[in-house]
Structure 1
Amino acid sequence: MIGHEMSREAILAPLEIAGDLRTRVNISVRVRGGGYSGQASAVATAISRALTGWTKSKKEPTIREDLRKRISVYDKYLISGDARMKEPKKFGGPGARRRKQKSYR
């Protein structure tokens, strides 16, 4: 799936945090686009959201809150996702911020 060791560790981080819950679920994730690290963070976010959603359907609300707290202590973006996005291109230049240089000579 993903070749880099750091990406594998990022993917397995929510499962290590979950502890024994990971033995009770089967996980299958399909991801497209982006690079190794982008895909790894997307898979980690999906796994952590799926685990918290799965524990929400159980009768014990303390398990869900404990899992959410442990995940957010490890990395707060595993549940919420990273909100940074590419800045859109504006008129008057070739990119989002780059413009033509002015020469006053």
Structure 2
Amino acid sequence: MPPEIISETTFNHTVDNWAVGVLLYEMLVGQSPFHYDDTAEIVDAIIACNFMIPRSVRQEPAELIKQLIVKEAARRASLTDVMSHSWITSMSGISAN
């Protein structure tokens, strides 16, 4: 859940971009980027957009995740940006078009 939904402010389609970033993180790391035992800590981390990507994650996917899990919705990568990202286009059979 992105910060704007937690804060109950106006939101748009970029909440989906946030979700893509979180899903990529979870697929590559095996846990949530906001992995805490306490719900209040999770909420605080999401609102502050406080997360770390382990060094075991390669640079290209880490960069994409950092472009998607961004506090300011207007600064998040668009889905067009995702599909044209070098990590995505380098995969066999995937085209930016």
TM-score (norm 2): 0.33
Higher CA-based Rg: 1
TM-score, structure 1 length as denominator? Answer: 0.31
